[in-house]
Structures are given as C-alpha cells and as structure tokens.
Amino acid sequence: MGYRRGCLADLLGDAVAYRGLRPQDPRLPGFAELREELGLGGELPRKGSAEYARVVVRILEAAQGLRGAELRRIVYVGDTRHNDGRTIAALGELVPVRGFIAAEDPGSPPRMEVSGGVVYANRWGLIGRFLERLRAEDFPLDEGTAVIVDLDKTAFGARGRNSAPVDAARIAAAERIAASVLGGEFDREGFQRAYRALNDPRYHAFTGDNQDLVVFAALVVSSGAYPLRRLEEVSAGKVRTFAEFLSACEGLPPGLARLRGEIEGALARGDPTPFKAFRRLEYEETLARMDLLPDGTPPERVLAEEIVLTAEVWEFAGEARERGALLFGLTDKPDEASIPPAGHGGSPLHRAVMKILGGR
C-alpha cells in the first residue's frame, strides 16, 4: 500500500511566514510594512514577545480582509510549552485565543491538562479532544477564526515522534560546515561532543538557545581554538555574552576567522540568524529528508528517518478549513533554512511534498 502524500500549501497556500515575518503570499504585509504603523524599531521581534504578537495579528487581519472577513478569534497549534505557550499568551492579550500544544510521549499513558485556554497533551492524537472542547466552549472554527499552525515539529516532524530527522538535518548541516571550514582537521567526535555540551540549558544565557550560535561555538571548540574546558569561563560568568566569547577566541583557523567576522557583523545588526551558510545547508538537508523512502517502507522506519506531515494536525487543519476558518502557518524556523536562495531550484518547505503519517 502506498503512503498518502501532500504539501502544506495544499491546505495553507502561501499563507505562511517564517522567522523573518515576511508572509509568502505577496498580498500580505510583513514586519517591514507594519513596523512603522505599529511603532516598532528596526529589530525583528522574537517569537513569544508582545511585539511579535502584534505583527502576527495585523498579518492575520490583512489575510481575513482579503476574503472579506474579520479576525474574531485565534486557535494556535504548536509543540513547545515555552515558545509557543508564550506566543499564545501574547496573542491572547489582543484576540481571544485557544491553544493546543503536544509532544508525543509513548512511554506514559495519554494525558492532557488545560491551563489558561491551552491544552497540553502528550499525544498528537488528543487534538481530536481539543476539537471537541472548542465545540463545547462555543469557540467555533468559523470564518471569524484564524488557525495558526506552527510548522517545525508540529505540522511536520511531530515533536516526540518524528522530530529526530529534523534534528538530524541540522546536525548534518553543521557537520558539512565543519568539514568545509576545518578540512582535514575536522574532528567529528569532538564537534559532536562540543555541540551536545553547548546545547545544555546552562549555556542558554550565552547562546540564547540560538542554533546559529551553538553551532558556531561548537566549531570553535572542536577546532581547538577554545577548548571545551575553557567553557568554564562562561559558566563562571567571566564570559557573559556571545560577543565576548567571539573576542576571546584567539588563533582561529582562517575559515573560522572569516565566519567570525560575518557573525559579529550580523549580531551587531541584530540579525537573529547570523550563521547563514549553516542555515542554507540546513535547508538542503531538511528537504533531502522529505519523502525520501519508497512506499512499502515500514512506518517506524519512515518516522525515524524522514520528515513527514503530522496526520493529526493535517486533519485538524483540513476540518478547520472546511468550516471556514483561515489557516496560517507560522514558524520561527529561519527563512534561510526554509526557502531556497533566489535563483536556486527547490521548494520552500511549505511546498515540499511529504508523506502524511500519524501515530498508530
């Protein structure tokens, strides 16, 4: 039997915005167009902030305007308590909102808890119960409702079930960068050790949990220019910011020194995606993991090795659309990791064909 396949654009069209808050549908305004009207500075607001929510609500209002509807309520589907939870709370300050946040945890019995209008579940399949709750609460999925679907680890690569290939794409990209910059001196194991160490929450204050910075720091550590044990300087508070870390790195190999210059420049501009070369490879590696294996491959292997559309979210979104709701894809995934560079082939991630696969 063959797998079902589809792409997010089948449901969303180009009603999608990646990290840069530039809707893919050119008729919709983005951060650049809304900045002045909303009294925001030049710096791109980050997911979870009040400013981010204000931009998103204006984009949704414009999308509703295109079809002669008003924005009365928002339903948000995501996968992280912290980022998505904060985004829901910030949106809720502006428009009535309900949320569903899931991460599959097959090791424990199905469970959901409700807090502040948000359902937290340990099964993606519980989204059906969320739908029932909305109905019981008289929070309709009608033409006045915008359904925001987070992309990364929600619409595809479901957290806890199919997120490993999403991470694998990122690690493969990081290793390709490392191999090209460090050449023969690239020590794969040392790099992986440094990457794992730097992903630890105790370094979040320093990396901002930004994968651009985590990967670059891991490259520096594995090059030997800043040995892993020197990271104690970070834990001890002697090196507080990433900029301080960059200036503390001495004797970098030429390729890394050049990258450091680029990253310093991007950080100084407030660019949240300073390591563009890495993100472009992440895009290639992510796309390469979509609809990779032939029909007939066991679903367990597909879920372990390729990135698929989350059937439960796909069906929820389809149902919402049928009832008249606006669907909008929103993600913090950098544009560079999601859209091919100008003049290059390849689909943006929301137009990439994937298998549609759920839990069993």
User: Which residues lie near Mg ion (CB under 5 A)?
Assistant: 79, 150, 152-154
Closer of 79 and 282 to Mg ion (Cβ) = 79
Question: Is the CB of 46 or the CB of 230 nearer to Mg ion?
Answer: 46
Report, in Å, the least distance between residue 214 CB and Mg ion.
17
**What's the closest the beta carbon of residue 80 comes to Mg ion, in angstroms?**
6
CB closer to Mg ion out of 51 and 150: 150
Kindly give the pairing relationship between strand 145-150 and strand 73-78: parallel
CB of 162 or CB of 223, closer to Mg ion: 162
Which candidate, 153, 181, 194, 357, places its Cα nearest to that of 275? 181
Q: Are strands 97-102 and 73-78 parallel, antiparallel or unpaired?
A: parallel
Could you give the CA distance from residue 268 to residue 305 in angstroms, rounded to a whole number?
38
Question: Closest Cα partner for 330 from 102, 87, 51, 40?
Answer: 87
Q: Which is nearer to Mg ion, 221 or 309 (CB)?
A: 309
Least separation in angstroms between residue 338's CB and Mg ion is 12
Nearest CA-CA partner of 190 in 163, 147, 164, 223: 223
Nearest approach in angstroms of CB 319 to Mg ion is 21
Smallest distance from the beta carbon of 11 to Mg ion, in angstroms?
Answer: 17
Element (H, E) at 245: helix 242-248
| C-alpha dihedral sign at 62, 67, 72, 75 | negative
Nearer to Mg ion, 152 or 312 (CB): 152
d(CA 227, CA 214): 15
Sheet of 354-357, strands arranged across: 5-6, 354-357, 309-310
Q: What is the DSSP string of 254-299?
A: HHHHHHHHHHHHHHHTT-S---HHHHHHHHHHHHHTBS-SPTTS-H
Nearer to Mg ion, 79 or 306 (CB): 79
**225-258: b (≥16 Cβ within 10 Å) or e:** bbeeeebeebeeeebeebeebbeebeebbebbee
| C-alpha pair distances (Å), 181 with each of 242, 314, 337, 350 | 20, 40, 19, 31
Nearest approach in angstroms of CB 297 to Mg ion is 25
Query: Which residue, 104 or 242, is less far from Mg ion as judged by CB?
Result: 104
Report in angstroms how near the CB of residue 152 gets to Mg ion at its nearest: 4
CB of 76 to Mg ion, least distance (A): 11
**Smallest gap, in angstroms, from Cβ of residue 191 to Mg ion?**
25
Torsion of the alpha carbons at 63, 65, 68 and 72, rounded to the nearest 10: 80
119 and 126 Cβ atoms separated by less than 8 Å = yes
Please identify, using beta-carbon distances, which residue of 47 and 355 lies nearer to Mg ion: 47
